[in-house]
Structure 1
């Protein structure tokens, strides 16, 4: 256990599990014992940073019908520690000669070898500058079919928003630091300080904090906490946990060799690209170069429009599904 103020990390055999799926074989753990362990973690304000490798960390080494394996070992950290060491992860190693697997706490930073994808941020909807920019970009003349015009206008809007994002003061952290410095400078003037200026700066600072919270709420994709609860650190930790799951740190080739170096992984991915179009169905409009997931959205809209305007013929049915097992979560309240 390591402790430094509000930065806490605990790595050990807790001899407890957090859910029934963390045990196989033998008699099932009671719901009360599982709830007690989860209550202990929540009361301490700790989070499980997860793992890489095989799921179970302990087994009774009684192979056969009496074989039992569980995830008893884990790393629990405080949110302050997780925020400071966001790149750290735990790797489960071999358990040769022991009933417990060895733990490796990896602290090296992973280099980004890809271009960051542009994402429209919800908080921009209230920015008048962005609204005017989109209106102006949408007037851009595109020649072609209706679908070609739509795609062209969306692409042009994206380019304009990327340019705006690079040149504008949209970084909440930088804006907060700048406003704090201005408030401090004005306050330090003592009796010559301008109260009206300070109040204006404080209002801008409050807005910047709200924008920061909305940013992390959107990136974390946690919908069961309402914006305004001042949970920025929580949203930040949730985003980091999801982001770690979205990273590929190892790949295994057809010879069973494991590649963990970025260059080796890129080489395997390059070889996969030549066959991806054969193993992924034509109905899947993502994951393959020159396939657009937006096509599915347009098809869905066309289908709903057809159903809405249908006046004769057989009845048809549409089912709204929450696709929680897809590559991403798709959820909406109404059509």
Structure 2
């Protein structure tokens, strides 16, 4: 489907719009902003954006010319960045749990266009979002475009920035150990008869183990999220029936099975997130899911700057560059 936009609020600094896109049943709020250049007005501005975001209960993103930076790393040249000049934006980020979307392209988006020591560059144009929006668009990112005739570089919000399919490397899932049949799959694959030197035998057996585990995961283990949803639906159906002994026993059995699948789901996201802590007895799947999405974007090479100053951002061109140079 296309994109529908409905403006719900506007003033000289903020345009708030409801966005109806894919997925069509998940409208979200986009705040296009022009931050006040005056430091005295910044606090009031960010408090207003915070109030607007809190008023809307769904996912949101705010982007535009902030006329504000988060710290000294986002400025080069000119006077030292004082704490008072960045506190308002930092307060908004901390209060709202906002996420700074990754970007590709030149780091700074604004320049005073002067030469030598008088040149000042800053990353004034940015995009922030909440956790719900990040989960809705896990591949989203910002493209810093180039404009030779203006002091600001335009930025483009791309909700599907990873548009090149790459083969995923095989990784052993820790949650597989929760199922006893996984051991049988590994033992069977490891007993594969292979002739030749020891190094070849090891490589072939590892390949057989990888292949059989992937096949077993797809056909037998299945998707943990789908299984959890199926069990929740069954429990809901049982709970709507008469509380007979048979129904109560069946509900208890399904609840135990659901607990086991929830534990597998938490273990999966804990492994993928590379976080070392998890609160005992707490379901932190949402946190682990989000941290995995953020790490996945950071691990992806989306653009390379060549020696002549030009950029390549096509997935196949990047692959060929590494093949030819490394």
Give the TM-score category using the shorter length.
0.7 to 0.9
- Structure 2 partner of 1:190: 242
Task: From 258, 278, 283, give the equivalent of 1:230.
Answer: 283
Distance change >3 Å, CA 270–CA 219, structure 1 → 2: same
- Structure 1 length-normalised TM: 0.70
1:130 Cα offset (Å): 0.7
Aligned counterparts, 1:144-155, within 5 A: 144-155=196-207
The verdict on how the C-alpha distance between 1:54 and 1:157 changes in structure 2, with shifts beyond 3 A counting, is same
Q: Is the 1:16–1:72 Cα contact (8 Å) retained in structure 2? A: yes
Say if 1:210 and 1:228, in contact at 8 Å, map to a contact too.
Answer: no
Among 51, 60, 77, which residue is 2:112 paired with? 60
> Post-superposition shift, 1:163?
1.4
Q: 1:1-335, aligned counterparts within 5 Å?
A: 1=16, 2=30, 4-30=56-82, 37-108=89-160, 110-192=162-244, 194-223=247-276, 229-250=282-303, 260=313, 265-266=315-316, 269-270=319-320, 273=323, 275-276=324-325, 280=326
**C-alpha spacing 1:210/1:35, structure 2 compared with 1 (3 Å):** farther
CA contact (8 A) 1:214 1:227 kept: no
Instruction: Tell me: CA distance 1:39–1:222, structure 2 relative to 1, closer, same or farther (3 Å).
Output: farther
Report the Cα offset of residue 213 of structure 1: 2.1
CA separation of 1:120 and 1:34: change in aligned 2, threshold 3 A: farther
Distance 1:98 1:54, change over 3 A: same
Please tell me the root mean square deviation across aligned C-alpha atoms, in Å: 2.9
Tell me, in whole angstroms, the C-alpha distance in 1 between the residues paired with 2:174 and 2:83: 40
| SS, match of residue 117 in structure 2 | coil
**2:12 alignment partner in structure 1:** none
Q: 1:267: Cα distance to partner?
A: 5.6
Shift of 1:107: 3.0
Cα distance in 2, alignment partners of residues 209 and 23 from structure 1: 45
Q: TM-score, normalised by structure 2?
A: 0.72
The structural deviation recorded for 1:49 is 1.1
The verdict on how the C-alpha distance between 1:147 and 1:225 changes in structure 2, with shifts beyond 3 A counting, is same
Deviations 1:62-119 (A, max 9, x none): 3221222122221111111111122322111224443322121123465453433321
What's the offset of the Cα at 1:125?
2.3
Q: Greater shift after overlay, 173-182 or 201-210?
A: 201-210
Q: SS where residue 55 of structure 1 aligns?
A: coil
Pairwise CA distance, 1:196: 1.7
Q: Distance in 1 between matches of 2:213 and 2:128?
A: 40
Using the TM superposition, give the Cα deviation of residue 167 of structure 1 relative to its aligned residue in structure 2, in angstroms.
0.6
Note the C-alpha offset of 1:270: 4.1
Decide whether aligned partners of structure 1 residues 204 and 19 sit closer, same or farther in structure 2, where only a CA change above 3 A counts: farther
SS of the residue corresponding to residue 90 of structure 1 reads strand
> Would the alpha carbon gap of residues 221 and 189 (structure 1) be closer, same or farther in structure 2, given more than 3 Å must change?
same
Question: Cα gap change, 1:15/1:150 in structure 2, threshold over 3 Å: closer, same or farther?
Answer: same
The structure-2 alpha-carbon separation of the partners of 1:271 and 1:76, relative to structure 1 and needing over 3 Å to count, comes to closer
Aligned pair in 2 of structure 1 residues 64, 229: CA closer, same or farther (>3 Å)?
farther
Where structure 2 has 5 or more consecutive residues not aligned to the other structure, the ranges are: 1-15, 17-29, 31-52
Deviates more, 1:65-74 or 1:93-102: 93-102
For this pair of structures, how many residues does the alignment match?
Answer: 273
